[in-house]
Structure 1
Amino acid sequence: MNSSKDRLTKLEKYWILYDIGNSAFIMLISTIIPIYFKNIAQANGVSASDSTAYWGYSISIATVIVAILGPICGTLADTRGYKKPLFALFMMLGVLGCAALAVPMPWIAFLTVFIIAKVGISSSFIFYDAMLPDITTDERMDSISSMGYAWGYIGSCVPFTISLLLILNAGSFSLTTSTATGIAFILNALWWFFVSLPLLKNYKQTYYVEVEKHVIKKSFRRLASVIKDIKPHREIFAFLIAFFFYIDGVYTIIEMATSYGKDVGISDNQLLYALLLTQVVAFPFALLFGRLSKSFRTEKLISICIAGYFAIALFALQLNHAWEFWFLAVCVAMFQGAVQALSRSYFAKIIPKEKSSEYFGFFDIFGKGASFAGTLTMGIATQVFNTSRAGVAVISIMFVIGFILFRRAVALNTARS
């Protein structure tokens, strides 16, 4: 940092640390866990296309649960003193779920535990994202949000690299691959927990709604009020619709990339190394887009990211070789952190700060709803046409729709301003 004005505050650092902590599990979801699951399922007679579909369905189930919980918990969290406890509750659900995956179990039970862990981490993001107005200023939101994703990517490489070395060299440690993978799950759960402690200890809710009695009852009333409030704010509602479509493709690519790569013949080792490269490359690009946000409008940068993802989806349709998957991984890394970080900070700047959790509850509905739609669509298309490419073709269309609707949302926001 060049000046004291650019230096991170302690609270900003602690907030970023949670991204570093949870990204370890996010990395597992996109790499080791789907490979581990597909190997378990196929060992029990489940076909490759069916195991990919079941993996997609499990993610869809988790997203539906979070979509239902999001607005309710978000509204409750905006009450004074509730945001941190709810954040801690769902964070621990994710941490314990991650550790529980280490226990040997049938593939159906494994998916059940995974769904619980996925609900935990996804729900924690509602409160974590809503903390952004509490820990920094409007002027710094784009930069801080981007730093969260950037350091999350590079930070997750620490436990992931250790896990990868442990799994690939299991025999050298007199371990089976399954046992080594179980140890990796526990290692990542511990990383997530301990790296998150500074935020849990030091975060204080700055913006809140003061409610002394009947907190839950009044939270439901406020939820109904927020639904009414969003409708007149056409720029907010339009952004959420656009976000639904373009983030659909982003989340689906993140969560289904490993299964897709395995289906088209990429080896497990190639998949893991390529996705590790994604984390490393994503780090500087997330920081780059954070810096670019100081010189270019956030809306323009988001538009570039959506267009980039559309090109990625088209390239994925003809993917056949390992080098192509490596190239695709680098391309994804260029835009992955930026589109998520900038969307988060853009939304945080256009909503009422004292109702940040409530609005981020809806933000999560549209984001997780998109994830549900994307993974479900890919799962169905894969089974119907017996190829993962059919699902990717459908996902690519979502980026086109998202781009058009986002430009409409920007126009509405500009007109309102």
Structure 2
Amino acid sequence: MEELSSRRERTGWYFYDWANSAFQTTVVTVFLGPYLTAIAKTAAGCDGDTCPDGAAIHPLGLAIAPGSLFPYTVSLSVFLTVFVLPVVGAIADRSPRKKQLLALFAYIGAAATVGMLFLTGERYLLGAGLFLLANIAFGASVVVYNSFLPQIADEQDRDRVSSFGWAWGYLGGGTLLLINVAAVLMKDSLGMSTGEVARYSIVSAGLWWAGFTTIPLLALHNRPVLAGEHRGNPLLDGFKQLWTTLKGMRAVPLTLFFLIAYLIYNDGIQTVISLASVYGTEELKLSDDVLVPTILMVQFLAFAGALLLGRLARVIGAWKTILLSLVLWTVVILVAFVLPERQAVPFVILGGGIGLVLGGSQALSRSLFSQLIPKGKEGEYFGLYEISDKGTSWLGPLAFGLAYDLTNSYRVAIIALIVFFVVGFIALALVPIRRAIEQAGNTPPAKL
């Protein structure tokens, strides 16, 4: 059977994961939150971490605490993303220049990230606006990028290709983060403050993103449009196609069922990732000297984990491997619940477990979903997939926060997340995956 793509093209596709992961790790996970909060505190009249009573900033005339600016900005970007991504997917499916769309969104996001070079003094609105633009462009570029997957790999090879992409992403994001953390440790010899290192680290992520995006743009090929080219206003056409997609999902209800299962268990995964440092700091009383190296370790182990679970999927199938990973995630939550305070080694070991299961569960979810998409609708459906990934990421933190508010215990809050993995496991197990793939008009792989 003739391959859908050359090795060169698949390698180029992997490199967009390498390119964009720097934004997630360096900007979103580590540096921008504390840095933007410090800028907002300066604008509110705070002296370092000491703020006068009632200290507030006033974006768009609204009084908010400076510490709330970054979470609110993230929430707003998620809200806007819900409307943008399906439209982007619909446009991508109806455009013969998908590679150029990838370039457009990638370079907009990278340019907005580099623009944070000017995020100094009290310019918190500049930082919030640039992050909104960068994060939305990031999501849009990933929709277009993911829609290439069914075009470059057949159903037998898709798990392996998706796993390689995720693995390269963790390796790329971890490599730049390692360089930037080293810069933080060497800030005195570099003659820079912590804030300056953070700002230049954020800018470096934009340069990394833009620079390495060149590789997939040179390697990937545009392909004939299966959905039919748009005529007239592409944005209006995208909204019309989005409505058609939502109505059309009645013909593939099992695909929708999978999306609901993914929404549930992925929200648990995202919450563990985002709140692990809070749990380590507040409940386990661990310092940044333990937390930051552990974050780095997770990135590199996720590289190995994506490859390991991808290999396992070739033996037992992606569906069974994801179910196994959800069992392992449940074990992670149980272990986190019983970790002792002020003990670095058990926390680091747990971080290693998270790293090994993290990359594979995400990579295989992407490749399995690609089997459930009717041909010619890859962009549209991956737009909905990205909403399931990002648009509901408030559910897990909400459950965590409510559990903490009711019990004043981070241990109860972390164990509350187990429901996402148990319910997600049950929901995914109930999807008749072979019939779901056939319902979408595709041929099931030999192993599921």
TM-score by length of 1: 0.88
Q: Decide whether the 8 Å contact of 1:149 with 1:337 is kept in 2.
A: yes
CA apart distance, 1:197? 0.7
CA apart distance, 1:20? 0.8
Give RMSD over aligned pairs. 2.9
CA deviation map 1:331-378 (0-9, x unaligned): 110111111110100011121231100111111122222323224444
CA deviation map 1:46-67 (0-9, x unaligned): 99xx988765544333222111
Give the equivalent residue in structure 1 for 2:422: 400
CA apart distance, 1:144? 0.8
In structure 2, distance between residues paired with 1:388 and 1:52:
20
Q: Secondary structure at the match of 1:231?
A: helix
In structure 2, distance between residues paired with 1:358 and 1:147:
23
Counterparts of 1:301-320 in structure 2, within 5 Å, are: 301-319=321-339, 320=341
CA apart distance, 1:84? 2.9
Asked whether 1:213 is paired with 2:212, we answer no
Q: Which residue of 165, 172, 186 corresponds with 1:169?
A: 186
Give the equivalent residue in structure 1 for 2:292: 272
Distance 1:415 1:352, change over 3 A: closer
Q: Secondary structure at the match of 1:295?
A: helix
CA apart distance, 1:282? 1.5
Give the equivalent residue in structure 1 for 2:59: none
In structure 2, distance between residues paired with 1:15 and 1:46:
50
Distance 1:227 1:33, change over 3 A: same
Identity %: 27
| Structure 1 letter corresponding to 2:198 | T
Asked whether 1:338 is paired with 2:354, we answer no
Give the equivalent residue in structure 2 for 1:33: 32
Q: Decide whether the 8 Å contact of 1:316 with 1:328 is kept in 2.
A: yes
Q: Decide whether the 8 Å contact of 2:8 with 2:219 is kept in 1.
A: no
CA apart distance, 1:161? 1.5
In structure 2, distance between residues paired with 1:46 and 1:137:
60
Give the equivalent residue in structure 1 for 2:308: 288
In structure 2, distance between residues paired with 1:81 and 1:263:
51
In structure 1, distance between residues paired with 2:410 and 2:32:
19
CA deviation map 1:81-111 (0-9, x unaligned): 3533332232223213332344225595445
Q: Decide whether the 8 Å contact of 1:59 with 1:372 is kept in 2.
A: no
Q: Which residue of 20, 25, 33 corresponds with 1:22?
A: 20
**Structure 1: runs of 5+ lacking an equivalent:** none
Q: Which residue of 11, 14, 20 corresponds with 1:13?
A: 11
Radius of gyration: which is bigger? 2
In structure 2, distance between residues paired with 1:294 and 1:129:
20
Q: Which residue of 326, 333, 336 corresponds with 2:348?
A: 326
In structure 2, distance between residues paired with 1:211 and 1:397:
44
Asked whether 1:413 is paired with 2:442, we answer no
* Higher RCO (CA < 8 A, seq sep 6+): 1
CA apart distance, 1:118? 2.2
Distance 1:280 1:65, change over 3 A: same
| Structure 1 letter corresponding to 2:334 | L
Distance 1:391 1:93, change over 3 A: farther
| Structure 2 letter corresponding to 1:213 | R
Q: Secondary structure at the match of 1:358?
A: helix
Asked whether 1:358 is paired with 2:380, we answer yes
Q: Which has the higher helix share?
A: 1
Asked whether 1:159 is paired with 2:176, we answer yes
In structure 2, distance between residues paired with 1:381 and 1:111:
29
CA apart distance, 1:14? 0.7
CA deviation map 1:251-272 (0-9, x unaligned): 2222333344333332222211
Q: Which residue of 246, 257, 274 corresponds with 1:255?
A: 274
| Structure 2 letter corresponding to 1:158 | T
Q: Secondary structure at the match of 1:409?
A: coil
CA apart distance, 1:386? 5.4
Distance 1:194 1:83, change over 3 A: same
Q: Secondary structure at the match of 2:94?
A: coil
Distance 1:393 1:369, change over 3 A: farther
Q: Which residue of 85, 91, 99 corresponds with 2:106?
A: 91
My pick for the range that moved more, 79-88 or 243-252, is: 79-88
CA apart distance, 1:212? 5.1
Give the equivalent residue in structure 1 for 2:45: none
CA apart distance, 1:142? 0.5
In structure 2, distance between residues paired with 1:106 and 1:83:
39
TM-score by length of 2: 0.83
Asked whether 1:222 is paired with 2:241, we answer yes
Give the equivalent residue in structure 1 for 2:148: 131
Asked whether 1:79 is paired with 2:94, we answer yes
Asked whether 1:104 is paired with 2:96, we answer no
**Structure 2: runs of 5+ lacking an equivalent:** 42-47, 54-64
